[in-house]
Amino acid sequence: QKEVEQDPGPLSVPEGAIVSLNCTYSNSAFQYFMWYRQYSRKGPELLMYTYSSGNKEDGRFTAQVDKSSKYISLFIRDSQPSDSATYLCVYSYTGNQFYFGTGTSLTVIP
């Protein structure tokens, strides 16, 4: 079983829609959860970081963690064409080992 499972998509939504991106993980020791956004031919950019269950909001982005079901989500409200990118969920528990999902490709259609 992979440490992290992420639906690769691709996901295509109209502008203004609410986007839900999801990952599941297998190791209950995971403590840190991160979402990265990667545009084509660019390095990943850290969007959200959380280490507790519940919601964390930053502008149009909300990260949600449910440790009881080992489920993590990223919600994007009022999606924009500029949100079109690949989104990576990442977990860590040792501090120096990071486990990546495969990434979900998102396209927001104007």
Residues that bind another protein (CB under 8 A): 32, 34, 36, 41-46, 49, 51, 88, 90, 92, 95-98, 100-103, 105
Q: How far is the CB of 27 from another protein (least distance, A)?
A: 16
DSSP assignments along 40-53, one per residue: TTS--EEEEEE-SS
Which residue, 24 or 92, has its beta carbon nearer to another protein?
Answer: 92
Paired sense of beta strands 19-25 and 45-50, if any: unpaired
Taking the complex as a whole, the smallest distance from the CB of residue 9 to another protein amounts, in Å, to 11
List b or e across 10-44, with b for residues whose CB sees 16 or more CB atoms inside 10 angstroms: eeebeeeeebebbbbbeeeebeebbbbbeeeeeeb
User: Least distance (Å) from another protein to the CB of residue 18?
Assistant: 25
Nearer to another protein by C-beta: 17 or 99?
Answer: 99
